[in-house]
Structure 1
Amino acid sequence: MMIGFCGLGRMGQPMVRRLLQAGYQVRVWNRSRDKVLPLVEAGAICCDTPAQMAEQCEAVFLCVFDAQAVYDTVLGEQGLASVQGALRIVVDHSSISPQASRDMAAQLQQRCGAHWLDAPVSGGVGGAEQGTLAIMVGGQAAALERVRPVLAAYSQRVTLMGAVGAGQVTKLCNQTIVATTLTAIAEALSLANDNGVDASRISEALGGGWADSVLLQLFVPRMTRPDTQVKASVDTMLKDLNTVAQLASVSHTSMPVAHAAQQTYRNAHRMGLGKEDVARITQVNSYNYGE
């Protein structure tokens, strides 16, 4: 299968590298060309526009920031749907609203007959690099089976959750759990420090107990050192929490804990931490952890 990949940010870069290592010939496109060059050196083929990619590729995978970026890439003037070419399946790994996915899927089908799979991922940059991402999918089962071998290059679990939009709903559930858990961990570390306990040892002390989790073990070190590398930004998490709030409003779902977490990330953004790693939400509390 000839495949393409649009969006070469923190997640897209390692995902494409995994595809190349698996032996796929990958055509790539990104709005800023500087991110294309390292992948071309690794064996990818550069496309000038998404439309050019759609002429040649049966399946195109996206991993861009928000719904507007997805729309521009797929339905824009030089988007994937602007030509009648080889394109049959669009796999969107971006995190956007379920309704936006449904709307764009319908327009894609109408314009060029291609199928849409909303397939947001969980596992972060590390999961992409190691090929252990979890992918939650909305769309047709037959379309998913066609691209499942491709997804296997960078994932360990692919789950069909229902029709188009179901993958995005599942990702919002994921982000609700992640964001609220990270907020609770940050508050617990603040409580430890404010009472004379070394916060960096909390993950060791709680390991194996009821409070233990992957997030606890990963984020206590990241929250208690000042030089945390940006793997997922505050603004990215805030974007997803805003989408959670919008979906909850539409479905009349009460989510007071998620709402409280949203305010924490909003405060972090107002403090100028939007581009920083999510671990820096510790700075919303009074203790500065050595910075």
Structure 2
Amino acid sequence: MSKIGFIGIGLMGQPMSARLLAADYDLMIWNRSVEKCLPLAELGAAIADSPEVIAQHCDVICLCLTDTIAVEAVFSQLQPHLKSGQVILDFSSIDPLATQKLANHCSTIGVDWIDCPVSGGVQGAASGTLAMMAGGRLEAIDKLKPLLANLSSRLTYMGASGSGQYTKICNQMLVSCQALVIAEVVAFAESAGVNSQLLAEAFSGGFADSKPLQILAPEMAERRFTPEKWHVKTLLKDLDMAVDHSRIVRSSTPMSGLAAQLMRLHAVAGYSDKDPSTLVNLYLEPHE
């Protein structure tokens, strides 16, 4: 069995790594804050001293990092130690053009770069039911399917390098706009004297139903903002990418543009590291 490296033990990386350990993969991990690695070490993971060590010892190197800058920084540490035949499997949500540049560089040394961002949140990571959207060389992705089956309920091949990242941007456009309108609906219902805690039940199975609705509407109605399962800053990052790339591909994204500005207002008000369920406060705080 291949030795697997996993870099980035955060909200998503921790449960994903735990599932690989439960499936008996030989796992080596690294995180900038080493204390986040300790629970996984108790489950059998080896802790690397640096990304370089992972590059030297692992066949498949998984990344689950915050943003493009973080991925590029880690790659600069991996690069001198990479060998032909290795695969970098990037679960991060980053800029598609940066992904294509990294993939092209890797191809010159016989390394496959697979962009494979995920959707499903911490709950999906813990239960192994993430939706994955992959871009890169199809043959390399096919070889990864047994590993990815431990983490996902659906893996969709989207096309060439960068396609997975563009698909994730589309996913985040939908999720972010839904989160904002759910917050608006909860606040509107309460202002109209409607019990907002019944909205998710009332809409269940109808055209307005969705996973974000069933998760966020009860949390917003109950002001249940912890534990944080994802962050406002993450949605803002992805909305900004959507707006930036809409100019590049010449596609209009007015809804996502407005969503980005509303998300930014919320982030600068002190909610950047908070759960998106706090978006309801955009509409409630002036009245409460």
TM-score range, shorter chain: over 0.9
AA in 1 matched with 2:255: V
Give me the TM-score of the superposition, normalised by structure 2: 0.96
Matched, 1:222 2:199: no
Aligned to 2:253: 255
Name stretches of at least 5 consecutive residues in structure 1 with no aligned partner. Answer: none
CA contact (8 A) 1:124 1:133 kept: yes
Aligned to 1:23: 24
Displacement, 1:84? Answer: 4.3
Output the CA distance in 2 between the equivalents of 1:238 and 1:204. Answer: 29
Output the CA distance in 2 between the equivalents of 1:202 and 1:84. Answer: 52
Instruction: Provide the secondary structure at the position in 2 that maps to 1:224.
Output: helix
1:1-291 to structure 2, matched below 5 A, reads: 1-74=2-75, 76=76, 79-85=77-83, 88-110=86-108, 112-228=109-225, 229-287=227-285
1:240-259 alpha-carbon deviations (Å, 9 max, x no partner): 11111111111111111111
Give me the TM-score of the superposition, normalised by structure 1: 0.95
AA in 2 matched with 1:20: L
Displacement, 1:107? Answer: 2.0
Aligned sequence identity (%): 39
Displacement, 1:135? Answer: 0.5
Deviates more, 1:229-238 or 1:279-288: 279-288
Output the CA distance in 1 between the equivalents of 2:266 and 2:84. Answer: 44
Displacement, 1:35? Answer: 0.8
CA contact (8 A) 1:176 1:241 kept: yes
Distance of aligned partners of 1:134 and 1:288 in 2 relative to their CA distance in 1, 3 Å threshold: farther
AA in 2 matched with 1:6: I
Output the CA distance in 1 between the equivalents of 2:223 and 2:49. Answer: 40
Output the CA distance in 2 between the equivalents of 1:26 and 1:124. Answer: 22
Instruction: Provide the secondary structure at the position in 1 that maps to 2:284.
Output: coil
Output the CA distance in 2 between the equivalents of 1:251 and 1:234. Answer: 26
1:166-225 alpha-carbon deviations (Å, 9 max, x no partner): 000000000011011111111111110111111111111111221111111111111122
CA contact (8 A) 2:173 2:242 kept: yes
Displacement, 1:144? Answer: 0.5
Matched residue count: 286
CA contact (8 A) 1:59 1:87 kept: no
Name stretches of at least 5 consecutive residues in structure 2 with no aligned partner. Answer: none
1:55-90 alpha-carbon deviations (Å, 9 max, x no partner): 11111110000011101111x2xx222114476100
